């Protein structure tokens, strides 16, 4: 971080190296009563009887979450099939599926595709969503309402509609080719991963725009105004005030877009069914293909488990990222 003469940190910020402006310091509320170490702050409110009230939700959690998760992980280590001999007569097979997974080239390729799809989607959604949200702040009210409406309609569209729209526009004779003067170009089957990633960005951006719009409205105007009085340029204000204040929102949005994109099975299934070949066969599609096309329910479950672990890793990274500054 280079020190910038002429752009001092906003008032009220701690002096530390020009970093960590605003929120941390502002959020500190001195004057809270001191609490003795080791004593729960809510001790006087805790009652043993309240445990009984927790039972229904605990039971729901166990039945709908803990048991299925454990069972799904177990299924990944069996030879269960959808049809065939092992549909009825199936058993635990130890690490056999794991060995198969380790040597499965399609799985490795599918993992690479998944990471590329997620990275592209997240970058696209956050950048375009933030850009739209900022443009909307300065736009005239009618423009804002109309443009916002259009973007949100794209977000609200069911995956199947979005998928069909993109399928129709990116194949031969589609809108894309016609607008570019290449009416017979088959963009979808020439650059399949790029096109499905764009379709996903298109369908998620409205969500990011709404979230960023709300967060931008919460940025105190006096901070920006005082920076402006101190001669901070527009990029400086964006980099030093807006972006740091948006950080928790960005981290949360990135996490949500990651999870929503991984769950956006329908969009890719409608557009390419994982094809052509396996060029868009990201993990959820490969899991489905193994379970329902090749009838290997157990192996499909194992790929699903890998997907859950991947989600958990992403989640952990994002949670860390948001915690390190918040």
Q: Give alpha helix (H) positions in 185-238.
A: 187-190, 192-217, 221-229, 234-237
- State which residue, 167 or 232, has the beta carbon closest to another protein: 167
Quickly tell me which residue has 């906003």 as its tokens. Answer: 10
Which one of residues 12, 14, 53, 71 is an interface residue with another protein (CB under 8 A)?
A: 71
Using CB under 8 A as the binding rule, whether residue 255 contacts another protein is answered as yes
Q: Which of residues 101-140 bind another protein (CB under 8 A)?
A: 103-106
Find all residues with CB under 8 Å of 182, minimum gap 6, and list them.
Answer: none
Candidate segments 23-31, 44-52, 79-87, 149-157, binder of another protein by CB under 8 A: 79-87
64 is an interface residue for another protein by CB under 8 A: yes
What is the 8-class DSSP label of residue 174?
Answer: S
Which residues between 263 and 292 bind another protein (CB under 8 A)?
263, 272-278, 287, 289, 291-292
User: Which residue, 59 or 292, has its beta carbon nearer to another protein?
Assistant: 292
Interacting residues with another protein between 146 and 205 (CB under 8 A):
171-173, 184, 186, 188-190
270 CB neighbour count, 10 Å cutoff: 20
- List the one residue out of 26, 5, 2 whose CA is nearest residue 232: 5
Shortest separation between residue 8's beta carbon and another protein, angstroms: 30
Shortest reach from residue 110's CB to another protein, in Å: 12
Q: Which of 112, 143, 312, 325 binds another protein (CB under 8 A)?
A: 312
Kindly tell me which residue out of 12, 14, 16, 68 binds another protein, with binding defined by CB under 8 A.
68
Cα separation values, 89 from 13, 82, 100, 289, Å:
67, 11, 21, 22
Q: Is 6 left (phi over 0), alpha (psi -120 to 50) or beta?
A: left
75 lines the binding site for another protein (CB under 8 A): yes
- Residue nearer to another protein on the CB measure, 238 or 265: 265
Residue with token string 């445990």: 51
**256 binds another protein, rule: CB under 8 A:** yes
Enumerate the H helices of 84-186 as residue ranges: 85-88, 96-102, 105-138, 141-156, 159-170, 175-179
Closest CA to 194 of 272, 120, 142: 120
d(CA 51, CA 87): 42
Please, are residues 86 and 261 in contact by the beta-carbon 8 Å criterion?
Answer: no
Other Cβ atoms closer than 10 A to 48: 6
Shortest Cβ 54–another protein spacing (Å): 15
> Would you count residue 229 as binding another protein (CB under 8 A)?
no
| Binding of another protein by 81 (CB under 8 A) | yes
Q: Is 266 exposed, middle or buried (0-12, 13-18, 19+ CB in 10 A)?
A: middle
CB 7 within 8 A of CB 236: yes
CB of 177 vs another protein, minimal distance in Å: 9
Q: Which of 14, 16, 84, 149 binds another protein (CB under 8 A)?
A: 84
In the complex, least distance from residue 275 CB atom to another protein, rounded to whole angstroms: 5
Taking the complex as a whole, the smallest distance from the CB of residue 142 to another protein amounts, in Å, to 27
Binding positions for another protein, rule: CB under 8 A: 64-65, 68-69, 71-73, 75, 80-85, 87-90, 103-106, 171-173, 184, 186, 188-190, 211, 248-249, 251-252, 255-256, 259, 263, 272-278, 287, 289, 291-295, 297, 300-301, 304-305, 307-308, 311-312, 315, 318-319, 322-323, 326
């Amino acid at each position: 971080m280079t020190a910038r003469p002429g752009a001092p940190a906003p008032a009220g910020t701690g002096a530390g190296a020009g970093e960590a402006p605003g929120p941390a310091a502002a959020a500190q509320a001195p004057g809270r009563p001191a609490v003795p170490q080791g004593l729960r702050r809510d001790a006087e409110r805790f009652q043993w009887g309240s445990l009984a009230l927790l039972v229904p939700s605990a039971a729901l959690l166990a039945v709908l979450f803990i048991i299925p998760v454990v069972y799904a992980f177990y299924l990944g280590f069996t030879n269960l099939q959808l049809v065939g001999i092992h549909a009825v007569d199936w058993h635990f097979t130890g690490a056999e599926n794991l060995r198969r997974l380790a040597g499965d080239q399609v799985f490795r390729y599918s993992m690479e595709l998944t990471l590329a799809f997620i990275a592209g989607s997240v970058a696209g959604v956050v950048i375009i969503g933030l850009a739209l949200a900022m443009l909307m702040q300065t736009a005239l009210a009618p423009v804002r309402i109309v443009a916002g409406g259009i973007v949100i309609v794209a977000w609200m569209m069911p995956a199947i509609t979005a998928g069909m729209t993109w399928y129709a526009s990116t194949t031969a004779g589609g809108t894309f080719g016609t607008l570019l003067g290449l009416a017979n170009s088959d963009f979808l089957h020439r650059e399949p991963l790029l096109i499905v990633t764009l379709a996903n960005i298109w369908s998620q951006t409205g969500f990011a725009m709404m979230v960023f719009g709300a967060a931008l409205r919460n940025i105190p105007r006096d901070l920006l105004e005082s920076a402006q009085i101190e001669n901070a340029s527009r990029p400086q204000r964006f980099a030093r005030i807006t972006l740091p204040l948006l950080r928790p929102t960005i981290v949360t949005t990135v996490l949500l877009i990651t999870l929503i994109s991984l769950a956006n099975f329908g969009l890719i299934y409608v557009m390419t069914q994982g094809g052509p070949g396996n060029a868009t066969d990201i993990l959820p599609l490969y899991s489905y293909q193994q379970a329902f096309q090749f009838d290997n329910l157990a192996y499909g479950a194992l790929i699903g488990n890998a997907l859950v672990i991947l989600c958990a890793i992403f989640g952990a990274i994002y949670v860390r990222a948001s915690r390190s500054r918040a």
